A and B are shown apart, each in its own frame.
Chain A
Amino acid sequence: TQLLEQSPQFLSIQEGENLTVYCNSSSVFSSLQWYRQEPGEGPVLLVTVVTGGEVKKLKRLTFQFGDARKDSSLHITAAQPGDTGLYLCARGNNAGNMLTFGGGTRLMVKP
């Protein structure tokens, strides 16, 4: 089983703080996606990374794919209450047609 480990599981911070969450695996990813899931809704895709060392930015969110394509991080600058939610990473299988999800990081940003 190709597991994805996400850390931390829970994170509670004040508005304006910075944070980083991690997604790790013992095996190489063909591709990796980050999703955000807000309460009462389904996950929404934030970004897909496919190249080792790749960095993508989405406003205050910075996504990095490890050089060896076994890990990824999501950094949020100046967190806002609207960033509250469950952040999930997901990897494609070798055939590129199935997603396996990590356990998620549940983020709460307090005003």
Chain B
Amino acid sequence: ETGVTQTPRHLVMGMTNKKSLKCEQHLGHNAMYWYKQSAKKPLELMFVYNFKEQTENNSVPSRFSPECPNSSHLFLHLHTLQPEDSALYLCASSPLLSTFSGNTIYFGEGSWLTVV
């Protein structure tokens, strides 16, 4: 239990569906992240939020739409996805927006997404 909870853990959706992934952190952190992990590529950063403001969009297609209503919650809205979007989507949080020692990033267990 890392303090970062993701739901659902597994999701199967058609290419025309609209669904959302949810992430909640109980750690009092100020930075939250979405990462994509697929079988053939390294873990890829998608979005970064710092104090609810989006600070990074790593050239992610618009069919992925993030939302951060407060520092504890992060959503990833999914619409008209493609089969190649099937992957493990990981949410993470950290106290600060920094990679330096002492600012540990905590990952959730991930949401397995299959697009059919």
Using a CB–CB distance below 8 Å, which chain A residues touch chain B? 4, 30-31, 33, 40-45, 48, 50, 88, 90-93, 96-104
Interface of B, secondary structure class, is loop
On chain B, the residues within 8 Å of A102 by CB distance are 42
Give the docked Cα–Cα distance between A90 and B107 (Å): 14
**Total A-B pairs, Cβ < 8 A:** 63
A96 & B107 in contact (Cβ 8 Å cutoff): no
Question: Interface extent on B, as a size class?
Answer: 20 to 34
On chain B, the residues within 8 Å of A91 by CB distance are 99
Using a CB–CB distance below 8 Å, which chain B residues touch chain A? 2, 4, 41-45, 48, 55-56, 90, 92, 97-102, 104-110
18 contacts between A and B (CB under 8 A): A30-B99, A31-B100, A40-B109, A41-B109, A42-B4, A42-B107, A42-B109, A43-B43, A43-B90, A48-B102, A50-B101, A88-B43, A96-B99, A97-B97, A98-B56, A100-B45, A101-B42, A103-B42
